[in-house]
Amino acid sequence: MRVVGIETEYGIVDPDEPRANPILLSSRLVAACRGWAGRTARWDYGGEDPLQDQRGFRRSRLGATPDLLTDAPEFDEAAGHVTLRRRRGSWEDPAHLNAVLPNGARFYVDHAHPEYSGPEVTNALDAVIWDRAGDAIALAAAARYAADEDSRVELYKNNVDGKGASYGTHENFLVDRATPFDDLARRLTSHLVTRQVFAGAGRVGLGQFGEAPGFQMSQRADYIEAEVGLETTLRRPIVNTRDEPHATRDRYRRLHVILGDANLFDVATYLKIGTTSLVLTAIEAEDERLDTLELAAPVEAVQAVSRDLGLRARLPLVSGEDATALQIQRALLEICRTYARDAGDAAVIARWEAVLERLSTDVFSAAREVEWVAKLQLMGRMRARHASTTLPDGLPWDDARLAAMDVQWSRLGDGLAQRLAVAGAVERLASDAEVARAVSGAPQDTRARLRGGIVAARPELVDAAGWSTVVLDRETDHGHLEVVHLDEPLAAAHPLLDALIDG
Amino acid sequence: MAQLNAQGQPYEDDAPEPDAPVAAAQASTDAIDDLLAEIDGSLQVNAEQFVRSFVQKGGE
């Protein structure tokens, strides 16, 4: 069990007005999402006012009184960690750019994109379910937008526009703070580089601007330019160093993975999260077998793997040997067998092994599970439809029809990936009913249960909510906002919030 | 850069011609054929314009 979450930035277009301002479209979409959801909360930016936070203090019991403001009572486990915060005078409310939803997610404007940050979950299957819930929520918001405005938006779950821009799908993994960051980065890199073989979404065009014709496994590979770093928008690193745990800092790190693709295939999302989580467990256990897989040139390897559709390129290792991406993945699989702790982990291992086997025997036998393979297969058939004596290979890779298909692949609602799924050509791990429940309800085994639960049950009491806070605005005699601290992501119960949720 | 044949299989200069993983016949072949015909019909007209108008800003 490991706390994980996925953030998706969607591409956004007004098909009738392609030059429309994307920031405006995105903020209107978030407003539409708030209207659709009915019950939402603002985002807690409280941490951005250190004076207010310094004035807060731990409260010892539920019925705090004003005299406690100058006091410093002992923290009371039974009451949970609650501090007081001064009410704002008037503040520029960025709430219209944010919605905290009853399923514990955040839907908001990030730069020039709508973003869904899924709630914290504890396993790969739940990650799939709440990721697809995000797609459903974004679609519902777009439908509301079309009803409210005299225009419409289309949303795309991809990562590139083919003209140089890239936007992210980020994964977050809670890891043990005791693991030194250098070890974490060094030992995780070969997995992040080679997992593309099952996690890539496929892309038409090579280079950041798609300047060379061709097809590659990954949307993001050409935008990864460093091994380790803090940036997410330029010189993007394989391992991001942002240290913002949104949890108890001395216990946890939040590993922020930015090189992955947005996935529309359940198995791709499932393996992306499930295998990375298991490799992290091996790293936390200081398994030195991982060191034999260290890549000599990881940044170059990201692109080499992405372009290696035959899955036979040999990557140089620090040891002086070399290995293919599939060989590295098989070695990681063997190491991770040791760390499968429950049925969920065992299912990840079994799927991981099966997909690697299919990829190594006949790539196209993985087309129901691996997104880039399905995309390549569909494109191959489209190319072949146009084969002639002058074009024996069919459409060339720089034909606009293939570039258009690549974009249309990822359109929410009626995209080509969705059409393939409807035709029965994509394996689903989660049912539509499970996804529908995750649209309106939060995971029950993390603090997302409290965040989503209070937004669903008592939105009128919630001033704002964040990953590790719920700010209550209640009629109390001390006259302050109450900041409920949720620093332990696995703590799915809280005395004060549960009392309010249960009414 | 590796070239691809119609099945999407790369030809590699420095490796023997790989066994072509022919796109296996799928149970849903008819549905996929219909989908391809539909895509072809719509893209014949507006593919270039569609691609040109899909412009995003960088994110993250």
Position B4 in a domain: no
Q: Of A47-51, A109-113, A486-490, which gets the smallest average pLDDT?
A: A47-51
Among the partner residues B15, B44, B58, nearest to A165 by beta-carbon distance: B58
- Candidates B30, B43, B54, B55: best to mutate against A (most CBs of A within 10 A) is B54
Tell how far CA A401 is from the center of its chain.
30
The answer to whether the CB atoms of A376 and B50 lie below 8 A apart is no
Extents of the domains making up chain A: 46-92+444-501, 176-409
pLDDT (tens digit per residue) in B8-59: 444 444 444 444 344 444 446 788 999 999 999 988 878 999 999 999 998 7
Q: How far is CA B28 from CA A362, A379, A420, B32, in A?
A: 19, 16, 9, 6
DSSP state of A121: B
Nearest CA in chain A to B55: A161
Give the per-residue pLDDT at A81: 85
User: Stretch A196-210: mean pLDDT, rounded?
Assistant: 97
Q: How confident is the model at residue A484 (pLDDT cuts 50, 70, 90)?
A: very high
Q: How far apart are CA A108 and CA A117, in angstroms?
A: 8
Give the per-residue pLDDT at A478: 86
The answer to whether the CB atoms of B15 and A9 lie below 8 A apart is no
Q: Which tokens in the block code for residue B56?
A: 């995003």
pLDDT (tens digit per residue) in A375-425: 999 999 999 999 999 999 999 999 999 999 999 999 999 999 999 999 999
Position B9 in a domain: no
Residue A4 pLDDT > 50, yes or no?
A: yes
Residues of A in contact with B56 (CB under 8 A): 11-13, 22, 112-113, 161, 163, 165, 167
pLDDT (tens digit per residue) in A302-357: 999 999 999 999 999 999 999 999 999 999 999 999 999 999 999 999 999 999 99
Quote the percentage of chain A above a pLDDT of 70.
91
Residue A76 pLDDT > 60, yes or no?
A: no
Position B14 in a domain: no
Residues of A in contact with B54 (CB under 8 A): 11, 13, 18, 156, 161-162, 407
The answer to whether the CB atoms of A401 and B27 lie below 8 A apart is no
* Higher per-residue pLDDT: A49 or A378: A378
Residue B36's domain spans which residues? 25-52
Q: What is the signed CA dihedral for A455, A458, A464, A466, rounded to 10 degrees?
A: -40
Nearest CA in chain B to A170: B60
Q: Closest approach of chain B CAs to the CA of A70, in angstroms? A: 41
Q: How many domains does chain B contain in total?
A: 1
Q: How confident is the model at residue A503 (pLDDT cuts 50, 70, 90)?
A: confident
DSSP state of A110: E
Position B39 in a domain: yes
Q: How far apart are CA B50 and CA A150, in angstroms?
A: 22
Residue A240 pLDDT > 90, yes or no?
A: no
Position B42 in a domain: yes
Rounded mean pLDDT of chain A?
A: 91
Position B16 in a domain: no
The answer to whether the CB atoms of A170 and B47 lie below 8 A apart is no
